[in-house]
Every structure is written in structure tokens, then in C-alpha cells.
A and B are shown apart, each in its own frame.
Chain A
Amino acid sequence: MSTFLSLLFNGLAVGAVYALIALGFVIIFRSSEVLNFAHGAIVLLGAYVVARTHDSLGFAGAVVLGVAAAAAMAALIELLLVRRLRNAPAISLTIMLLGVDILITTDLTRRMGSDILGLGHPWGADVVSLGGVAISANRLIAFLVAAVVIAGLFAAFRFTSWGVAMRAAAEDPEAAQLMGIRLGRVALTSWLLAGALAAAAGLFLTGSPTPGLEPGIRTVAFAAFPVAVLGGLDSPGGALMAGLLIGVSESLAAGYQDDLLFLGRGIGEVVPYIVMVVVLLIRPSGLAGTKELNRV
């Protein structure tokens, strides 16, 4: 039972981090109608900046800088590339963003070499006991921070003028323009925010129990991609649900993999994709997506 609870907590924590990344996908998709395939690279960039600067700036300072760098990179991608190609077919934009992802990742991989970098998390590899169940402090903090950030984000969607403008622009860009909503500004803030969320996710993905930052983190960040698709791509609520669902499934599959040996080792890594395929077969527009969506 305690194994199950431990796996469940871990799954929820990782799922909440996936949700942070997936929310970035969703926010960008809603404002720019494009899938940001460069998101994994932005996660990596945020974590890399923290890893390189925490010695000189301290952890808090490094986190601020990492979040700012990731947000700035996302904003630059929007301003310099996506905005200029906004009338291009969605497929061209998607391929371009894949290219950007490869460029940024290759450069960061070169800079990292074969090192595994620590991010200087003050909580290190501490383990806390929660009702008799052991969970890494990093995962617990990740869950709490993600919960606060996501709650804040949902409140912002609902109550702020930015949230109203963003929802209006996502639903009918022309009508939104006719109301005086500046679509460019909505898109730019969305990319900034998505970049910041990606950095926050990177911060926790590289903490205990993982050894630290290495280029493979980008692959982990990619698990958030099926999360976004599963949630319905244009639904923040869907992204949250799907994040938790996939985090828990992945954690349980990895934890009980000895009982699932007939499926082969490493089933945990493919579980996000299995869950995505199964759910999409039943609900083609995802858990909470809009049925009319037709752009990739």
C-alpha cells in the first residue's frame, strides 16, 4: 500500500510539472495557433541558466535569471519567427519550430558536454515523510509550486483583462481585433508566460531523484507533448487533467514494471504515449478540447 501511495504522490508531482509544460503548449496554441515544438529546448535553456549561475547568484537569483532567460527566448521566437510567418501554413511553422528546437538543444548540449550539472536546489536530495510515505522534497515542492502557479494562471485566465483578451483572441481573432484587442500583444505575453512556465518545470525535472541537468531532460519534457494533445490542445483545464493522469500512469507503470515484464523493460517511458493513443481513440478531440479545431 505504501508503495502504491508513494508512486501515486510521485506521479501527481511529476504530472503537475508536466502540466506546467503542457499549459505552455496550450497557451501558445491558443494565441498563435501553432504547436511549439521548441518547448523542450526552452525547458532545457531555463534549467541550464540556473545550473550555470547558481554558484555566483545564489539559487533564488539563478532561478529568476533562468525563468527570465526562458521567457525571453520564447518571446524572441514569437517576435522574430512566428509573427513574421503568421500567414504561412501551420505545417511550415511547425517544422520551423522543430528546427529551432534542434538548434538550441544542440548548442546547449555542446556547452554541457558529458557533464551532469547540479542546479543547487537548497533541498538537495532530502526525503520527507508524508503520512508514512516517503517522497523526495523536490517532488513535494514541485507539486506545491505547480499547484500555486496553475491556480494563479487559471485565476488570471478567468479574472484579468489579459485572460479575457486571450480567450477572446483564441475564439475569434478578427472579432477580438474589432474590439480593440491587440493580437500581437496577446501572443507575445502568451509566449513569455509559456517560457517562464517551461523554466519552472525544468527546475523541478532536474531535481532529486534525477541526478541533475543533462540533455536527456528534453526528452522528459517531451512527455508533456502527449499531455497537451491528450488534454485537448486548446484547453488549460484539459492540460492539467491530462498532466496528472499521465504523471500517475507513468509512475505506476515504472513502479510496477516487474509485474509488467511481459511488456518489456522501460514501460514507464512509453506510457504517456499509450495513454494518449487510447484516450484519443475514444475522444478524438482530447479530454477537454474543442471539436472544431482543425489546425495542427
Chain B
Amino acid sequence: MLEVADLSVSYGGAVQALRKVSLQVPEHGVLTVLGSNGAGKSTLLRAVSGTLGRHGGRRDSGTITVDGAPIHKQDAASIVRTGVVQVPEGRRVFGRMTVEDNLRAGAAAARSRAAVARARERVNELFPILVSRSRQPAALLSGGEQQMLAIGRALMSDPRLLLLDEPSLGLAPMMIQRVGEIVAEIHKQGVCVVLVEQNATMALALADTAVVLDVGQVSLAGSAAALAASEQVQRLYLGHGAQAVGPEVIRPDSTDGSVGDDGRERAAGTRTLTRWQP
């Protein structure tokens, strides 16, 4: 479905945010991308959805293809029309517009009225709360409801691949679980998913495959189960030697000077993960 090959991205022509990143999302697959703050997760999604330019970023090399067709030279709106839709970090609902109008905005790239009607039906089934709130301004919804709206809005264009950027961010544990259930349901309905998360427990439970990004490089990749069992992921993302743990995931120490999208170097401390052998 989605294939990213040898993707390198820099910001401002100087700061390297991604270095030769390669990954695949198979047909009907769910891929989780783990990584600490500044590992390049959001940059990866920006590159796929065509919004790097807006952030001063540039693809230096590498390709991004959907079903074999390159999308890396297309603009963001055209990429949506290939069926790849991103739910941005921080939800980014249109707060001054009603829930209804947010969903209509989400249907901007829909192929036909019939497709919009079908998508709307699916969104109504998945998120009954949005039906009862349809006339309220989105800004008045709770954080969890806004996340539902952000996902529902993205589903309105009937995507084949949904990119979710930290959907659990800032949500209560109950709500995180609900978001997880919804992502699972959307996947069951045939939509591929790329899930970028710091909440590794939820993300690995949902995924078939996973990659760990570290300082802009893929440091680990494999099946989600294998990664969940790996000592490094357990130590960095699931807590020391833990089995599955609650929503409080221990994150790598951010005081070690981790590389951000702004690309400062970091100490090698958290870079001890085994290199990925493709």
C-alpha cells in the first residue's frame, strides 16, 4: 500500500530530520511508528502527506509511493485524493465551525455525493456523539470529542490509508482506550493505518508491524509482537522489563539532548538499539 524508500528530509537546508528512512505498510496493515520527542515521527507524516514545505522542510532524497505510484511530488490536497489522509497532531479541528461543517470540510476531496453519504453514515455509526453535537462549534467539544471529530473528519474523504499523529496525546486513559477501539474498528473496515504514538502500549496492541525512529533513522523494525517483546522497546517505551503496562508509558529521558526536528545532536545514550536489518 504505502512504501517509503530511503527518505531523507532536512529543515532549512541544514538540519537533517530524517536519514534514509524506509518502511512499508502492507495492504490492510497497521503500522506503528514509535519514537521519542524529536525522533522525526511528525516529519515522516508531513513528508507522506505533503506538508513539509509549510514547515520549512524539504525532501532531499528518497521516494514515497502508494500502490506503486509516487506521491512525493504531489501537493497535499492531491495526496488526499490518492486516499492518504492525515489526522494531525493536536486534533486541529476547525474550532469556529460547527461539528457538521467540520465534517463537510473533511469531505472536500470526496469523489461523489454518494461517497459522502456513505462516509457520513460510517462516521455517524462510529461516533454517535458527533451526531448529537452536530450544531455545536467544535471548540466547545471536550478533548476526546475533538479527537473523535478529527478522526471522523478524516474519514469523510473515504481514505484507504489513515495517518494518525499521536491521537492519544492529552487524553484521559479511558478515552485513550476508546480511541484504540475506534482505530481497530476503522482498520477492520478495510482502512490501512499508520499510527504515530508515544503511547506504545496502545499502539503496539493495535499494530501488525512497527518501527522505532531514533534521531531520524529507523533503529528497529519488525512485527509489533516482536517489538513489544524486545528488551529495548520494553525499556524505552513500556517501562523497565515490564509486561504490558497501563497508559503511563515511560519515555526516554528527554534531557539527554534528543534530536528534535530542529536537529540538535544528542548523546548516544538512547541510540543503543539494534540496527534494523532489512
Contact = CB atoms under 8 A, between A and B. Distances in A.
Interface in B90-107: 92-97, 101-102, 104-107
Contacts of B102: 168
A52 interface: no
B158 to A, nearest CB: 11
Contacts of A114: none
Contact of A179 (B50, B54, B157): B157
Contacts of A176: 94, 105, 108
B154 interface: yes
Contact of B86 (A171, A178, A181): A178
A129 interface: no
Contacts, number: 79
Chain A: interface size category: 10 to 19
A176 B77 CA distance: 9
A259 interface: no
B51 A178 contact: yes
A164 interface: yes
Given A161-B104, A178-B80, A179-B157, A167 B94 contact: yes
Given A171-B97, A174-B88, A180 B104 contact: no
A165 interface: yes
Interface size classification for chain B:
20 to 34
Given A178-B76, A179-B80, A164 B54 contact: no
A161 B156 CA distance: 14
Contact of A183 (B77, B85, B92): B77
A164 B77 contact: no
Interface string A202-236: 00000000000000000000000000000000000
B229 interface: no
B105 A179 contact: yes
Contacts of B95: 171
A232 to B, nearest CB: 13
Contacts of B93: 175
A182 interface: yes
B108 to A, nearest CB: 5
B49 interface: yes
Given A174-B54, A175-B93, A177-B77, 8 more contacts: A164-B101, A168-B101, A177-B75, A177-B76, A178-B49, A179-B109, A179-B154, A180-B85
9 contacts: A165-B105, A165-B108, A171-B97, A178-B80, A180-B77, A180-B80, A180-B81, A181-B105, A290-B96
Listed from nearest, the 7 A-B pairs whose CB atoms lie closest are A180-B109, A180-B80, A168-B105, A177-B76, A175-B92, A182-B77, A181-B108
